[in-house]
Structure 1
């Protein structure tokens, strides 16, 4: 993919998946604005990109508010003359079960993930529409937003909302030539290293430098952060100009298209439904094959 001449902003790109996204875009030729709350991480990321022959600038700021969103766009324009790609990756975790989650736990996570995606996308959309040459919004979601996950009320809600915004904005921005897609990544990060079923294989891979085993890369769709970055590069490129409004999963050797929610089973009752009527037909009718929920527990071959 040739991204020369394009300018990208990647939020939360000082380390982990965000850094992999920023480096992949730069390797393909894009100028990149790196963002993180950690100044040392931003400086290191910018230095690494420039050492590899790329062009980058850094913004140290917490994503969430309108001021940071506008600063990111303004930096892209001031440093490189335009904005073509926005990747909204910034996020935090405050995991707790429902009855222990505080208002602050909920608001902080939703503020960064959901509100931060909204404010950054809005600022980027304004600039891209002014330029009149289209653009790419790549919104980072999660399997938790698609299926729910224990202890992640705030995170799952925010990530589900991000997919809903992608579908909405794909409609609103289509005439301007701006595509909007959600990415559902799975990779070996500091967070996934804490999952007991994954930890030994990830630690062994890091210790020996050998690839992750097939059961992880294929069955679980979990690989390196670089595996995920390829999808970001594709969605930033001209090759994806007809791809919009989609939720796309990637991890390890697996690339997947997530389905949009739709009615699975329908029944009719003349004059409407009473509670008794619903109870009488539920288990043999509409509710005969209920949907599953939650991210399936990983199982190693030894399990």
Structure 2
């Protein structure tokens, strides 16, 4: 896959998945703006890319504000003359169950993940329009945004909202040739280490040792296993793919469905409470309710 001549921004690229995305884009030939609030680790990633023969610069703005988004897009244009790919990866965790979650815990997660995706997506789309369209917005979601994730109110709300942005922006930007897709990554990173039963596997990945085949087949591998999807979606080969939520992990790729009705019934005169009670208790909606329970990454033990 050849991305020569393209310019990409990856937010939150100092560690983990973001770092893998930035390095993979650079290996494919793109010039990369490596954003991270920890500018020192961003510079380390840049040094690795440059040492490998690639082109990259570091940028240290916090994601969430309009000013931060404009700064990272401005960095791409100032250093490389244009912007072709925006990967919105930056995020934080403040895991608390609902009754223990403070306002500031919720707000900082939504500010970074959801508002950061909005402001960066808007700034990138404006730059794409100025260049004539045909940009790539790659928004990073999570299995936690697709299903329940115990103790992650702000994170699940943000990641679900991000996939909502994928669908809406795909419709709004279609005529300009800009594609918008969501990546649903599963990888053995520092964030995964907090899931019960996962710490040993994360340590294995950190040491560069092979991940067991059954774990990889279950959809759980390293950050590098996800990066190929980002490179593909950034390329001209993916020009016809938009509005999708695509999962990646280990040896597994999956396409997530859009929400849709699974059962619908008509009743003359409408539905009062008694009719609904009958329909849900042995009636037409019996057996139609959807699974809601918390799930972890494929291949990982269930969390409690």
Bin the TM-score by the shorter chain.
Answer: over 0.9
Task: Show CA shifts across 1:213-255 (max 9, x none).
Answer: 1221112x11000000000000000000000000000000000
Q: Which residue of 2 aligns with 1:210?
A: 209
| Runs (5+) with no aligned partner, structure 2 | none
Output the CA distance in 2 between the equivalents of 1:170 and 1:201.
36
Greater mean alpha carbon deviation, residues 147-156 or residues 189-198? 189-198
Matches within 5 A, 1:193-232: 193-204=193-204, 206-207=206-207, 209-219=208-218, 221-232=219-230
Output the CA distance in 2 between the equivalents of 1:290 and 1:218.
29
- Secondary structure of the structure 2 residue equivalent to 1:227: helix
Are 2:188 and 2:205, in contact at CA under 8 Å, matched by a contact in 1? Answer: no
**Change in CA separation of 1:18 and 1:294 when aligned onto 2, cut-off 3 Å:** farther
Q: CA deviation at 1:43?
A: 1.0
Q: Which residue of 1 aligns with 2:136?
A: 136
Matches within 5 A, 1:61-210: 61-204=61-204, 206-207=206-207, 209-210=208-209
Output the CA distance in 1 between the equivalents of 2:21 and 2:203.
23
**Change in CA separation of 1:295 and 1:222 when aligned onto 2, cut-off 3 Å:** farther
How many residue pairs end up in the alignment? 298
Output the CA distance in 2 between the equivalents of 1:11 and 1:189.
16
Q: CA deviation at 1:288?
A: 1.7
Are 1:88 and 1:140, in contact at CA under 8 Å, matched by a contact in 2? Answer: yes
TM superposition score normalised by structure 1: 0.95
Output the CA distance in 1 between the equivalents of 2:227 and 2:67.
28
Output the CA distance in 2 between the equivalents of 1:25 and 1:224.
16
Q: CA deviation at 1:10?
A: 0.4
Q: Which residue of 2 aligns with 1:260?
A: 258
Q: Which residue of 2 aligns with 1:292?
A: 291
Output the CA distance in 1 between the equivalents of 2:205 and 2:166.
35
Are 1:5 and 1:30, in contact at CA under 8 Å, matched by a contact in 2? Answer: yes
Task: Show CA shifts across 1:122-158 (max 9, x none).
Answer: 0000010110041100000000000020000000000
Output the CA distance in 1 between the equivalents of 2:19 and 2:117.
17
Output the CA distance in 2 between the equivalents of 1:30 and 1:294.
41
